[in-house]
Amino acid sequence: MVATEDLLRIYFNEAEELLDTLLDDLDRLKEVLPDYDPDLINDIIRKFHTLKGNSYSVGYTKIGDIFHKLEDAFVGIRDGKFSISEKLVFDTSSILTKVKESIEILSATRESRDDIVDIDSSVLDISEDEKSSRKTLDAFQKDKIQKAENEKMNIKPQISKFREEIILKNPDNNLRKIIESFDDHEMMQIKKLADEGKTVLLSFVKFSMDEDFDLGAKQTMENIKKQGFEIVSIFSNVEGEHIVFNFIIVPTRENFDINLLQNIAKTYEIWREKKTAVASKVQAQKLSLRVGIEDVERIMNIIGDMVTAKNALQSSLTRVIETSKIVESDQRIRDSLDEITRRMKELQDIILEVRMVPISEILKGIVRDIETAATQTGKLVEIEQKWGNIEIDAEIARKIRNSLLHIARNAVAHGIENPEERIRVGKSPKGKIKLIAEKKGGYTIIQIVDDGKGIDPEKIIRKYLDWVKNFPEIGKRFGNTEDEFKKPDGSWIKEKIYEILFLPGFSTKDAADKSAGRGAGLDEVKKEIESLKGKVEISSEMGEGTSFTVKIPTAKIIVEVVIFLWKGKKYAIPLSSVIRSDVFYTENPVELTKRIQGRKVISVGGKEIPIVSIDEIVGGEKTEIKDNRFLVLILEGEGKNTEVGLIVEEILDIKDSVMKNFDEEMIKIRGISAIIEEIGSDGRKEIVPVIDVLKIPYLIS
Long-range contact set of residues 114-122: C-beta below 8 Å, sequence gap at least 24: 114/55, 114/59, 114/60, 114/61, 114/62, 114/63, 115/62, 117/60, 117/62, 117/63, 119/62, 119/66, 119/95, 121/65, 121/66, 121/69, 121/70, 121/95
pLDDT of residue 666: 47
Distances (CA, A) of 602 to 497, 637, 691: 33, 15, 21
Q: What string of H, E and C letters represents the secondary structure of 289-310?
A: CCCCHHHHHHHHHHHHHHHHHH
C-alpha–C-alpha distance, residues 608 and 590, integer Å: 11
- Summarised one tens digit per residue, pLDDT across range 26-68 is 888 887 777 777 778 888 888 888 888 888 877 888 898 899 8
476 CB neighbour count, 10 Å cutoff: 10
- Whether the per-residue pLDDT at 568 is higher than 50: the answer is yes
What string of DSSP letters covers 235-259? EEEEETTEEEEEEEEEESSSS--TH
- Whether the per-residue pLDDT at 386 is higher than 80: the answer is yes
CB 674 within 8 A of CB 660: yes
Please compute Rg for the chain using Cα positions: 32
- Whether the per-residue pLDDT at 621 is higher than 80: the answer is no
- Whether the per-residue pLDDT at 514 is higher than 50: the answer is no
pLDDT of residue 145: 46
What string of DSSP letters covers 40-57? HHHHHHHHHHHHHHHHHH
CB 289 within 8 A of CB 228: no
Question: Residue 388: which of 449, 451, 445 has the closest Cα?
Answer: 445
pLDDT of residue 538: 93
| Cα 157-162-167 angle, rounded to 5 deg | 125
What confidence tier does 664 reach under pLDDT thresholds 50, 70, 90? Answer: very low
Question: Residue 283: which of 329, 250, 236, 327 has the closest Cα?
Answer: 250
pLDDT of residue 668: 57
CB 500 within 8 A of CB 457: no
Amino acid identity for residue 351 in this structure: I
- Whether the per-residue pLDDT at 3 is higher than 60: the answer is no
State the DSSP code for 586: T
Question: Residue 300: which of 339, 340, 356 has the closest Cα?
Answer: 356
pLDDT of residue 559: 79
Q: What 3-state class would DSSP assign to 641?
A: strand
Q: Cis omega (within 30 of 0) on the bond before 610?
A: no
- Mean pLDDT of the chain, nearest integer: 78
Amino acid identity for residue 268 in this structure: Y
- Summarised one tens digit per residue, pLDDT across range 413-447 is 889 999 999 999 999 999 999 999 998 766 889 99
485 CB neighbour count, 10 Å cutoff: 21
CB 194 within 8 A of CB 271: yes
- Summarised one tens digit per residue, pLDDT across range 352-377 is 777 778 888 788 888 888 888 888 78
Percent of the chain, pLDDT > 70?
A: 79
CB 412 within 8 A of CB 374: yes
What confidence tier does 73 reach under pLDDT thresholds 50, 70, 90? Answer: confident
Amino acid identity for residue 180 in this structure: E
Report the b/e string of 238-254 with b at 16+ CB within 10 A. eeeeebbbbbbbbbbee
- Summarised one tens digit per residue, pLDDT across range 211-243 is 777 678 778 888 888 888 888 777 777 777 877
pTM over 0.75: no
Q: What 3-state class would DSSP assign to 491?
A: coil
pLDDT of residue 142: 47
What confidence tier does 137 reach under pLDDT thresholds 50, 70, 90? Answer: very low
Amino acid identity for residue 385 in this structure: Q
